[in-house]
Chain A
Amino acid sequence: MENNNYTCTGEITSIIANLVMVKANGSLKQNEICYFDHEGQKIMGEVIKTDGNNAYIQVFESTRRFKVGTKALFTGVMLEAYLGPGLLAKNFDGLQNDLDKMEGVFLKRGERSFPLENDKEWAFKPIARAGDLVYAGDWLGEVDEMGIPHKIMVPFKFKGKYIVVEVMPAGNYYINDTIAVLKNEKGENVNATMVQTWPVKIPIKSYVDKIRPSELFETGVRVIDTLNPILEGGTGFIPGPFGSGKTVLQHALAKQAVAEIVIIAACGERANEVVEIFTEFPELEDPRTGRKLTERTSIIANTSNMPVAAREASVYTAMTIAEYYRAMGLRTLLLADSTSRWAQALREMSNRLEELPGPDAYPMDLQAIISNYYSRAGQVLMRNGKKGSVTFIGTVSPAGGNLLEPVTEATKKVARCFFALSQERADSKRYPAIDPLDSYSKYLEYPEFAEYSKKNIGEEWIEEINFARGALTRGREVYEQINILGDDGVPVDYHVMFWKSELIDFVFLQQNAFDEIDANTSVERQKYMLEMVNKIVKSGFTFEKFEEVGDFFKRVIYIIQQINYSEYQSEKFHRLETELQQVINQKVNA
C-alpha cells in the first residue's frame, strides 16, 4: 500500500477533528492518498477537496496530537484494493488491512497489514494459450482458493488489446511471480502476476454486457423467495427501525443464500455482530457444497467505533472485491450493514467542509452517490460467454424508523426489492418481521422472471403468489372491520377470512431463524407449502359461532408448524400431514 515515491509533500496548516488542511508544494489529485508523518507513524488520509495548493484531507484515523507543520506525503494514487487469491476467509478493516495479522488486542494508530500472503504458494493451471488475443479481465489461468476456481485475469488496468506471449505451465507460484507475458499494441512485453490493484471508487467494467435479471436468487427465507423474490444480480434493501431484526435477517441471508461468494461489509455497526460471524461461520457448513461458510466469505469490518472516514472506504472496498469475483464468473452476494452509517460518515465530512447542507444536513449529492453505488451490482456477461453476478442487499437504519428520511428515500429510488421490516410485527415476535404487503419486489413484474418461474418452479407460480397476497390483504381489511364492529358485529365469514390470513402468516411468512430446519426452506418445499396453504385458504368452512373459527385455525396452525419443524418428506412429516388432513376434513365443506 505504501511506496516511497511521493509525488509531492506538504505541511499541515489547520486541524478540525479528522479534517486536515495541508499546503502542498506540488500538483494534487482529487481522492489521492497521502500519509502524515506523525510520531514515527504514517497516518493515512484522502484528499477530498483542493483549493490552489491547499489540500483538504480526510484522515482515516484519529488526529490526536497532530500539529501545525506536521509533514504530509502525497502518493498520487487513489485508494486501491489488492486483488488476488487469498481474499476469502479473511477479515479486513475498511482499508483492507488484514485484521488477523495485526498484533495485540487494541488497534494501534498507523498500523497496517498486507491483505494477501506473499509467501504462500498457489497451484496454478493455465487457461489462456500463447497467441490468444486478450483484453483486461480475460482469464489467463486459475488457482484453487478454498475450493473456488479463482481465475487469474489480465489486470483490469491493462488498456486495449494484448497478445499472449507465454503463460507459465501448471505449477506452484507465489502471488508476485509472473504467470503470463503479454504483448501490448505497441509491441512491448508486459508481465502479469496473480495480484493486481484497483481503485475502489471506480467500477470494474471488464465485462461485455450487463443482463436483465431473470433467475431467482434463493435465500431460504419464505417471505422473500416467494412473496418478494430477489433475482440473481438484483438489488434490494432492508430498512427498519432498531430491534426489528435487520441484522438477524442479514446473517440468515449470508448463511443460506445460494451464492458462491459472500462479501459482508459491516459498516459502522456493532462489533459484537461481526464477532458473531467470526465465531459461527467457521463452524457452519454451506449445505450445497459441504464447505465451511467462512471459506466462501470475506468480511470487511469497519465497526462503529473504528474511524469514521474509513467507513466510507469500507463499502467501496467490499464492492470492489465482489466485482473481482464476479469477473471470474461467480455468483457473488454483497451484504452491507448499514448504508445509513456510510451516509452519516459522508454527512460528517460535508459538515466539516462547510458545504451547504441538503435535507437532514446530508450532502446534496447523497442520492447520486447511493445510486452510483447500487448500480455497480448486476449480472454480467463476459467475453468468453460466461456469466457472473453481484447481488446486493443493503440495510438502511432510518432515523426514528421514519421511512421518509433522505437515506431511505434515496435508496428506494434505486433498489428493486424493498423488504420493509415492521416494528409492529417485531413487537408481536412475528419473525422475520418483513411486512408482506408493504414490501415489494419489482422483479415480480419482469417477464423474464415469469418465464423462468414457469419453467423452473411451477406453471402457476405467479398466480399462487398473487392469490396468497390477495388473501393477506383481505385478512388485513376484515381485521380492521372486526376491530371497529366487534367480534359478534360481523358475519362469521369475516372471522374465517381473518383466520385464513393468519394461517398464511403463521405457517408460511413466519420462520424460526433458530430452528435448523425451519430457518432455511428450499424453493421446492416453499412451493409445496404455498400450494398446501393456498388449498386450505381456497376451501369453504362452516362454523356455527365465531369462537370456533379461531380454535379450529389455531389447531391447524399448530400442526403445520410442527410440519415446518420436521425434515421434508420424513416419516414424521407424513404422519403430521395425515393428522392435518383429518383435522381439516372435520370442518371443510364437501
Chain B
Amino acid sequence: MEAKFFQKTYHELTNITKATCTLKAKGVGNEEMAFVEGRPAQVVKIVGDFITLQVFSGTEGLSTKSEVIFSGEPPTLNVGDHLTGRFFNSFGEPIDGYPVVGGKKVTIGGPSVNPVRRVQPNQLITTGIAGIDLNNTLVSGQKIPFFADPDQPYNEVLAMIALRAKVDKIILGGMGLTWDDYLFFRNSFEQDYGQSKIIGFINTTEDSPVERLLVPDMALTAAEYFAYEKNEKVLVLLTDMTLYASALSIVSNRMDQIPSKDSMPGSLYSDLARLYEKAVQFPDGGNITILAVTTLSGGDITHAIPDNTGYITEGQLFLRRASEINKVIIDPFRSLSRLKQLVIGKSTRSDHPSVMNAAIRLYADAANSRTKLENGFELTDYDRRVLKFSDEYSKDILAIDVNLEIDQMLDKTWSLFQTFFTKDEVGIKQEFVDIYWKK
C-alpha cells in the first residue's frame, strides 16, 4: 500500500520477532490494520506509546527502519453481489486473475446476533447420504464439523455435499489448503454450477500460516451479507479448522502467552465459538449453515482442538472406512447431529426417529457379535443375523456413494428389519409396526 499524502508514516521499529514488530506511535486504535513495508499487519497490543503489530506474512527481511502506515480501521471486506463466483485471498484480494471489485466496505468479525432475535432452525438440508440424512440430519443454521484423519477424503465429501445441498450460496473458507485441493474445489464447483453460487476465500500452504486467521472472518462476513441483507440460504465450508487453530497457537506463543492444554491458547474455546456461532437462522428467512473440517491426529478426539470444537458445534460427523464392505461410511456410533430432533419425524416421515434408533442399536449389537467372532467364540443365531444385517445396512444404505431420498432410506431399513429380525427384536412402537411391517 502506498502512503497517501495525509497519512503519517513511521520509520522506527523498536523490536522485531518472527511474527510481530513493535514501534512507538500515537493515536492508534486496537485491532487496527497497518502496513509494514507494504505487508499487512494488525495491532494486537498497545502499551503506552508502544504498539505491537502482528505481521501476517512474517517479519523476514524487515529492518528497524521499515516504513509503517496505519490504516485507521480494523480489517474490512468489500461486500456485494459481485463477490459471487470469485476466489479471494485472506485479505479479500482477488486471486482468480479478474479485476478488483467495489462494493460496500464492512468490518470483518462484526457483532453477535442477539440470541432472542434468532429463530430456531427448522429447515432440513438433504444430501442424499444416509449417514447424514437418515442418522444425523442436517438443519439449516446448524454448525457441524467432520472429524477426519488427514488421509480421509473429507474435502471430496465436503464438495459432494455442497453440490447436492439446495442452498443459494456456497462460501468456501480454505485454510492451509494444498494448491491441488484448491484446484479440486475450483474445478468441481465450476463443473457443476458454472461458479454462480460459489465464493472462495483461500489461504494455501504457499501463503503464510498467520494469514489464515482472517479467512473464516472473511467468509462469514460475506455469508452474513447474503444471509442477512439478501435473505439467502448460505452454506459456509471451512476446511481445515485444525490449521486455523495451529495459527492461533503460533501467534499466542509469539505473544508470550501461557499455553493451556496441548500448547493451545487458553482462549481457544472462545476464539472458535466466535466463528462457529455465526451459524444462524435469521428471522427474515436467511440463514448461515457451517460445515467444517477438523483433522485429527491419530483419531484422537481428546486433543484440545477437536475437544473444544465438539463442545461448540451442534454435533460432529466421523468418516470411517468400513472394512467389511471396503467403503467409506459416516460412522453411525460416533456421529451426531444435535439439531436433527427439530426435523426428523416432523419434516420427514413420522417413523424416522424410531427406525433410526432401532437400526443403530442393532448395528451396535453387530459390533459386539463381531468382537465375539474375532475372539473365536461360538456365534448364536442372533449374532449371525445381526452381522448379516449390518453388512447389508452398510452396503446399501450407509456407504457415502449411495444417493437416496429419505423415504427410500426408511423403506430399505424396514425391509432389512423384516428380513433378519422379529418384531420384538426390532422393538419399535406398535403403531409404526402396524403400518410398515409387511404382512
Interface residues of A (CB under 8 A from B): 13-16, 63-69, 91, 99-100, 102, 104-109, 241-243, 268, 270-272, 274-276, 278-279, 301, 303-306, 308, 341, 344-345, 347-348, 351, 357, 360-361, 397, 399-402, 427-429, 486-488, 514, 547, 550, 554-555, 557-558, 561-562, 565
Contact = CB atoms under 8 A, between A and B. Distances in A.
Contact of A486 (B27, B314, B364, B378): B378
A565 to B, nearest CB: 7
B312 A105 contact: no
Contacts of B261: 360-361, 399-400
Interface stretch (B89-97, B319-327, B333-341, B395-403): B333-341
14 contacts: A65-B73, A99-B116, A106-B112, A272-B339, A274-B115, A275-B118, A278-B116, A304-B270, A304-B274, A347-B260, A347-B266, A429-B360, A486-B372, A557-B427
Contacts of A106: 110-114
B302 A275 contact: no
Contacts of B430: 562
Contact of A554 (B112, B267, B425): B425
Contact of B29 (A66, A104, A348): A66
A102 B114 contact: yes
Nearest to B341: A514
Size bracket of the B interface:
35 or more
Nearest to B429: A565
B115 A278 contact: yes
Contacts of A272: 118, 120-121, 141-142, 279, 314, 339
Interface string B41-52: 000011111000
Contact of A561 (B277, B310, B378, B427): B427
Contacts of A428: 333, 361, 364
Closest 8 CB pairs of A and B: A400-B302, A304-B273, A305-B277, A242-B310, A65-B29, A361-B260, A486-B377, A15-B46
Nearest to A241: B310
A63 B228 CA distance: 25
A444 to B, nearest CB: 31
Nearest to B353: A514
B74 A351 contact: no
A304 B117 CA distance: 16
A376 B352 CA distance: 45
B330 to A, nearest CB: 15
Contacts of A16: 45-47
A401 B316 contact: no
Contacts of B48: 13-14, 68
B216 to A, nearest CB: 13
A487 B32 contact: no
B20 to A, nearest CB: 13
B112 A429 contact: no
A108 B113 CA distance: 9
B30 A243 contact: no
Interface in B293-317: 301-304, 307-308, 310-312, 314-316
Interface string B411-439: 00000000000001101011000000000
A281 to B, nearest CB: 12
Contact of B115 (A243, A301, A360): A301
A67 B30 contact: yes
B119 interface: yes
Contacts of A306: 112, 115
Nearest to A398: B307
A15 B260 contact: no
Interface in B88-111: 110-111
Interface string B167-210: 00000000000000000000000000000000000000000000
A241 B312 CA distance: 12
A554 B424 contact: yes
A106 B312 CA distance: 20
Contacts of B270: 268, 304, 308, 344-345, 348
Given A341-B269, A361-B266, 12 more contacts: A14-B45, A107-B112, A107-B114, A270-B312, A272-B120, A279-B120, A308-B270, A427-B333, A427-B364, A428-B333, A486-B377, A554-B424
Given A275-B118, A275-B119, A397-B311, A65 B31 contact: yes
Contacts of B31: 63-65
Contacts of A243: 310, 315-316, 336
A65 B32 contact: yes
Contact of A66 (B30, B339, B378): B30
A275 B357 contact: no
A127 to B, nearest CB: 35
B258 A357 contact: yes
Given A341-B269, A429-B361, A558-B427, A104 B114 contact: yes
Contacts of B49: 68
Contacts of B260: 347, 360-361
A314 to B, nearest CB: 12
